């Protein structure tokens, strides 16, 4: 199989779909890999590094989209990319289709077979290809939130850890999953006062067992959200409904009750965001103000630490990429029910139920779409 790796084109996105060691593994399995020139240069992987492991270098993305059997990316394809996809071509990347109608219709029009990292599952009900970026985003969320609290950046001038004689800042994390847990760990490390809200009593018990009185683990209700968010210095939205748009758990009315200079960080922005006032931003212009509250809603947060993120992502995606290349997508999806959950579109059909529901489109099972 000919596998293509185009350079990412989103604002300040330096991650790359395959690092040289991953390319070497795929070539070892008998495949060819073509990488767009400078695709990994932003994180220290040169064209020479890719050539050294057997890849060929393409001068333009159009060469890759025109020739490759499988496209491996990081971020969802932009319009200039999905218009180059063709029927039956395999796309393996993050998609986040539920809040993105243009991309959804673009993929359907192309007829490509699109497998989304974020909906591939595992035996434990987890999302193994989303997990590494959730870990990174959770950790980053506290860094950027603490920075946004600086007075010079529009914040209230609160130091999350406080100092002797001054109370620490209050961090509220909505969602106790992977990203929320990593955010809590970082916030506790800064000695902030940390509260995690979640609707799973099992997860709350796990958090309590792990961290005890270092944090509050609170069952999430509207009343609890209103109580803790209105009194927070930093609120981190870490809610995930796999494949679906994030629920709007913090209303504008509630935001109006927060102290001026407080900060909201929306990790869920890739799925539309969990704050009513959220809108996607970029690393170039990451924050904006609504009613005196600073919002950080960068849609590719892990891209801020692109080298760490890329290596972590490749560690997770490589076995699946090898399976897809070795078997072809039809057999790979037939053999692995968890990979089958990752199939979002195929030959003009929506094969992910939450995406179909979000855009009022017909849902077709992966088995039917691929004739399994």
Vertex 338 angle, CA 335 and 344, to 5°: 100
Q: How far is the C-alpha of 109 from the C-alpha of 276, rounded, in Å?
A: 31
Neighbours of 311 (CB within 10 A): 15
Query: CA neighbours within 13 Å on the CB side: how many for 100?
Result: 22
Helix segments in 149-235, DSSP class H: 178-189, 201-211, 222-230
**How many angstroms separate the most distant Cα atoms in the chain?**
67
The alpha carbon dihedral of 246, 252, 255, 257 has a sign of negative
Is 105 annotated in the active site? no
Task: Give the active site residue among 31, 96, 182, 295.
Answer: 96
Listed in order, strand segments (DSSP E) in 210-307 are 215-219, 234-237, 263-266, 287-290, 293-296
Packing angle, helices 131-148 and 306-327, rounded to 10: 160
**281 φ, ψ (degrees, to nearest 5):** -125, 180
**74 φ, ψ (degrees, to nearest 5):** -115, -60
Task: Give the active site residue among 182, 233, 270, 283.
Answer: 270
Residues in the chain: 372
- Is 129:120 a contact under the CB 8 Å cutoff? yes
Is 153 annotated in the active site? no
How is residue 281 annotated by DSSP? B
- Written in H, E and C, the secondary structure of 221-235 is CHHHHHHHHHCCCEE
SS3 173: strand
Query: Chain-centre distance of CA 299, in angstroms?
Result: 8
Q: How far is the C-alpha of 117 from the C-alpha of 339, rounded, in Å?
A: 9
Q: How far is the C-alpha of 119 from the C-alpha of 77, rounded, in Å?
A: 16
SS3 171: strand
What are the catalytic residues?
Answer: 96, 270
């Amino acid at each position: 199989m000919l596998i293509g790796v185009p350079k990412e084109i989103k604002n300040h996105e330096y991650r790359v779909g395959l690092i040289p060691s991953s390319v070497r593994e795929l070539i070892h399995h008998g495949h060819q890999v073509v990488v767009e020139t400078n695709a990994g240069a932003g994180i220290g992987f040169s064209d020479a590094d890719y050539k050294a492991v057997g890849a060929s270098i393409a001068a333009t993305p159009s060469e890759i989209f025109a020739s490759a059997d499988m496209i491996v990316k990081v971020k969802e394809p932009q319009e200039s990319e999905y218009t180059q996809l063709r029927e039956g071509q395999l796309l393996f990347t993050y998609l986040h289709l539920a809040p993105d109608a243009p991309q959804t219709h673009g993929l359907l029009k192309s007829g490509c077979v699109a497998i989304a990292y974020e909906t591939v599952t595992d035996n434990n009900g987890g999302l193994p290809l989303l997990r590494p970026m959730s870990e990174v985003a959770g950790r980053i969320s506290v860094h950027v939130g603490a920075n946004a609290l600086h007075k010079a950046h529009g914040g209230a001038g609160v130091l999350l850890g406080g100092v002797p004689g001054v109370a620490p800042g209050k961090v509220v994390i909505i969602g106790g999953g992977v990203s929320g847990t990593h955010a809590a760990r970082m916030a506790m490390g800064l000695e902030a006062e940390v509260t995690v809200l979640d609707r799973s009593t099992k997860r709350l018990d796990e958090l309590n067992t792990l961290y005890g009185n270092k944090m509050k683990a609170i069952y999430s209700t509207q009343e609890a959200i209103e109580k803790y968010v209105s009194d927070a210095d930093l609120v981190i939205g870490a809610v995930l409904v796999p494949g679906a748009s994030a629920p709007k758990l913090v209303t504008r009315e509630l935001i109006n009750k927060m102290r001026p200079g407080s900060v909201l960080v929306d990790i869920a922005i890739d799925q539309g965001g969990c704050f009513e006032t959220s809108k996607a931003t970029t690393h170039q212009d990451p924050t904006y103000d609504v009613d005196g509250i600073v919002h950080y809603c960068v849609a590719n947060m892990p891209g801020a630490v692109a080298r760490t993120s890329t290596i972590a992502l490749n560690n997770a995606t490589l076995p699946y990429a090898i399976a897809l290349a070795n078997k072809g997508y039809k057999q790979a999806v037939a053999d692995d029910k968890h990979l089958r959950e990752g199939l979002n579109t195929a030959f003009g059909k929506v094969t992910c139920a939450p995406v179909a529901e979000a855009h009022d489109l017909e849902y077709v099972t992966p088995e039917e779409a691929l004739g399994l």
